[in-house]
Structure 1
Amino acid sequence: MSEFHFLQPLDVLYLRGNRLFGDSTASGEAIMPPWPSMAAGAIRSQLLASHGVDSGQFAQGNAALSGGLAQSLGTPDQPGDFRISHFLLAKSQACEGATPTSRPAEQVQVYLPLPADVVVLAENGSKQVHYLQPQRLPAVIQTSAPCQQIPVLRTAKQAKPAGGLWLNSAGIQAWLNGQAIDSSHLVESKSLWKIDSRLGIALDAQGRTTEEGQLYTVETVALAEDLGFLTGAAGAENLLPANGVLRLGGDGRGAQHTRIEWQSPQPDWAAIAQSKRFRLLLTTPGLFKQGWLLPGMTAENGGYRWKTHEFSARLVTASTARAETISGWDIASNQPKPALRAVSTGSVYWFDQFEGEVSTLQKLVEQSLFSIDAYPDRKRRAEGFNSILIGAWRS
């Protein structure tokens, strides 16, 4: 089970990726949505602080944990049961009678970047939303696609795709059920956050004096009012205080965290069981041993089949965004984390010929794809990568 907390920044956030600064006056770009590892580090540090454990001593292996905290966090080299299960941009809408320190009746609006199978076309000032659908191409058309079908956009006329759009809670539910998505389900990113550029200068590590010619600009993210991050933490039940302040993102900017009640949206599982087909959506970057292929996929009859000890399904096709590189800084060892290629958030996979119980898919959503394969390691598992949603696939 996951315990949910709403993380609301008290200042702008430094959400840098893994690109180094180049020449003088170089600019550091912010990434949105940020990697879930940001929340993992913040919440684990808060767990240690709330139990009187020095995080620096823990990172060096000099702090002995006990009881539930030891089972949750383990050690820096061998993490315990703790795992970020959900990490979504969200808006807090407190109900009447709620207080800043106790908000049990919290209502949360969550947002996701457009799934890769959703295309929004701008036509005459309006937005038309279309689903990509797998299509088998005529034999005369040759492609390098690894699947026999490819995702195809079918429209009456050409139009320019609109970018910078996210789905709100109603839009996410519509996607899960395979229902039509309309303009009321779309939110422009500019209404969720703004980019605020900050000027800085490098300092000499010993003398703490400024370095000549080392000016740089960093993009910070200023979230809109009441915006924050809905974060689900598994393996840490009743260990975190109900509310408090923690350090979030680069430069350790402050953020308030508050425990909330929230139910993850569910698809029409009965429709999936009846049709024997479904779509899979990555809600955080996917770290897979076989590149873009999900863990457990094997080549079969000119295509791919997804097999575990509990279910199997045939991969029809996939729509994956450009791969990204995930890294970070390992505080315990004071060195960069290994850089790994990742399948981007929002990538979609279509499956049919499903064999097994639908409950196994439900469990997969709850436990993430790490429940199939531990690649690359338990550290990345704890950081919340490989999280998914499963939705119905309707024609």
Structure 2
Amino acid sequence: MQIFIEPSDVLLFRDGRPFSAGEGHRARSIFPPTPNTIQGVIRSKVLAERCGRYQEYRDGCLHCPENNNCTIPEEIGTPAHNHYGNLQIKGTLLAKHEKSDLTAYFPVPTDIVQVKKKNAPAPESQLRYLSPLREKIPGINDLAYSLHSLWTTESTPIEAVQGFLNQQNLVNYLLGENPGNVVSFDKLYERESRFGIEVDNNIQAVKEGKLYQTEFIRCKENIGLYIEFEGIKNLSANPDSDIGLIGIGGENRVASYTNTIGIDWRDFKDKLMTQLKGSDGFKIYLATPTIFDSEHQQGWLPKWINPNTLSGEYEGIKLKLVSAAISGYQTIGGWDVAHNKPKPTRRAVMAGSVYYFQTEATPEEILKAFHWQNLADEKSEAQIGYGLSLVGSWNYCKFTDDK
């Protein structure tokens, strides 16, 4: 099932940092929202439309009069048993839905840079790729586990690029071609700050020093969220309905949703399989953030990679990590509605990060294991949309005198 959510008003998706009036006085928004937020949106919609017994659901549905005839616990799980049932969310992407056409937008890969130019946007001719060096740089450096350095043959200064690539430009990037133009944030949405002050309800007066600022997201026309998921019979009480309303984000803001077409990767996969046969390796691009911290406590290294050898095995595929392009971490937190308490704050690898691998596996095996799949150390986190990965090809950085 694929839906497009279009907001009717501003949206609020707080980041994972603690926030209270008078202390951490500014609440920033994460956009697109985290997988934790989206799973809550979908499960809440199912409960509101098809159940309504929130107390019984929170307690595991054991004493619900409809327990024997209800499939909701199987579909979306229960808080009491700390699982998501059959729900499987691929991920959440920014998208533009106009008439029947859907255009998805992906965070710019971290290994794309631009030639430094003051006060000017980056035209496509100014974009450059970073690629691993074939030989490691001698001497002491701060690269973790002796990874190969990422390099470019550009002689002028370069800098990071921020924004989004549409689906076609991302395909070009994954095939090693010119990615085209980068879409800036302000073409898709704007950030709006609003101020408030805490009120003492007992005396109906404001509290001194309790001023706070909240950051909202206002999407441009026809811009919203594309969500792909399965495991649920239907979102609404009417199984034949293709449209409806849905609450989303902080303050449960109202948005509309409509069923839509999915993203088709078939032509791209055919081209990529040919490309991979002549490349030095394959790369994994993360379209959504993910959490790698259950094994090595490094925060960025998957548990199936040995930190000493950089070798590992995933889904029967033996591979070696050559390099990685990671811009930093994203703070993931939130509020546990069922238990009325904050969720633990964790650090996630940011969307747009890229991992470079080498393997003896066939292109078909690589695509089956990694393309449009969810990668996270914990199965439950992959289940709700963390680590949506796409596969591309890469070659070592070549200089003009290389043969």
Query: Do they superpose with TM above 0.5?
Result: yes
> C-alpha distance in 1, partners of 2:95/2:242?
18
Aligned residue number for residue 384 of structure 1: 385
Aligned residue number for residue 269 of structure 1: 273
Q: Per-residue deviation at 1:306?
A: 2.9
Select the residue among 215, 218, 223 that pairs with 1:222: 218
Select the residue among 172, 175, 198 that pairs with 2:194: 198
CA contact (8 A) 1:5 1:258 kept: yes
CA contact (8 A) 1:276 1:354 kept: no
Alignment of 1:310-321 (within 5 A): 310-321=316-327
Amino acid at match of 1:292: W
CA contact (8 A) 1:60 1:332 kept: no
What secondary structure, in the 3-state scheme, does the structure 1 residue paired with 2:146 have?
coil
After superposing the two structures, state which structure 1 stretch, 309-318 or 31-40, moved more.
Answer: 31-40
Q: Deviations over 1:234-288 (max 9, x none)?
A: 2125455522111111111111111101224444133225547211011111111
> C-alpha distance in 2, partners of 1:279/1:22?
41
The alpha-carbon distance between structure 1 residues 357 and 152, as it changes in their structure 2 partners (threshold 3 A), is closer
CA contact (8 A) 1:314 1:354 kept: no
Aligned residue number for residue 103 of structure 2: 109
> C-alpha distance in 2, partners of 1:313/1:71?
36
Aligned residue number for residue 152 of structure 2: 153
The alpha-carbon distance between structure 1 residues 308 and 43, as it changes in their structure 2 partners (threshold 3 A), is same
Amino acid at match of 2:303: P
Q: Per-residue deviation at 1:198?
A: 1.1
The alpha-carbon distance between structure 1 residues 27 and 136, as it changes in their structure 2 partners (threshold 3 A), is same
CA contact (8 A) 1:149 1:317 kept: yes
After superposing the two structures, state which structure 1 stretch, 133-142 or 13-22, moved more.
Answer: 133-142
2:114 is the alignment partner of 1:120:
yes
Q: Deviations over 1:109-136 (max 9, x none)?
A: 1111211111122548453111100014
Aligned residue number for residue 258 of structure 2: 258
What secondary structure, in the 3-state scheme, does the structure 2 residue paired with 1:13 have?
coil
What secondary structure, in the 3-state scheme, does the structure 2 residue paired with 1:43 have?
helix
CA contact (8 A) 2:305 2:311 kept: yes
After superposing the two structures, state which structure 1 stretch, 262-271 or 334-343, moved more.
Answer: 262-271
Amino acid at match of 1:107: D
The alpha-carbon distance between structure 1 residues 162 and 115, as it changes in their structure 2 partners (threshold 3 A), is closer
Q: Deviations over 1:25-61 (max 9, x none)?
A: 8222222232122221111111122213334542343
CA contact (8 A) 1:244 1:256 kept: yes
CA contact (8 A) 1:316 1:352 kept: yes
> C-alpha distance in 1, partners of 2:17/2:137?
43
CA contact (8 A) 2:12 2:249 kept: yes
Aligned residue number for residue 184 of structure 2: 188
Structure ranking higher in strand proportion: 1
CA contact (8 A) 1:40 1:382 kept: no
Alignment of 1:39-188 (within 5 A): 39-62=38-61, 63=64, 66=69, 68-76=71-79, 77-94=82-99, 106-123=100-117, 125=120, 127=123, 128-136=126-134, 140-145=138-143, 146-159=145-158, 161=159, 163-183=161-181, 186-188=182-184
Amino acid at match of 2:163: L
The alpha-carbon distance between structure 1 residues 139 and 154, as it changes in their structure 2 partners (threshold 3 A), is closer
> C-alpha distance in 2, partners of 1:130/1:120?
6
The alpha-carbon distance between structure 1 residues 139 and 178, as it changes in their structure 2 partners (threshold 3 A), is closer
The alpha-carbon distance between structure 1 residues 144 and 123, as it changes in their structure 2 partners (threshold 3 A), is closer
> C-alpha distance in 2, partners of 1:280/1:211?
50
CA contact (8 A) 2:194 2:215 kept: yes
% of aligned pairs identical?
A: 28
Q: Deviations over 1:116-174 (max 9, x none)?
A: 11112254845311110001456543213123411123312225x36442111221111
> C-alpha distance in 1, partners of 2:160/2:290?
25
> C-alpha distance in 2, partners of 1:52/1:148?
52
TM-score, length-scaled by structure 2:
0.84
The alpha-carbon distance between structure 1 residues 191 and 305, as it changes in their structure 2 partners (threshold 3 A), is same
Q: Deviations over 1:291-346 (max 9, x none)?
A: 211231124xx631130242121111101111222111111111111222211111
Aligned residue number for residue 249 of structure 1: 249
> C-alpha distance in 1, partners of 2:375/2:160?
31
> C-alpha distance in 2, partners of 1:51/1:269?
44
Unaligned 5+ runs, structure 1: 95-105
What secondary structure, in the 3-state scheme, does the structure 2 residue paired with 1:355 have?
coil
The alpha-carbon distance between structure 1 residues 246 and 205, as it changes in their structure 2 partners (threshold 3 A), is farther
What secondary structure, in the 3-state scheme, does the structure 1 residue paired with 2:97 have?
strand
What secondary structure, in the 3-state scheme, does the structure 2 residue paired with 1:187 have?
coil
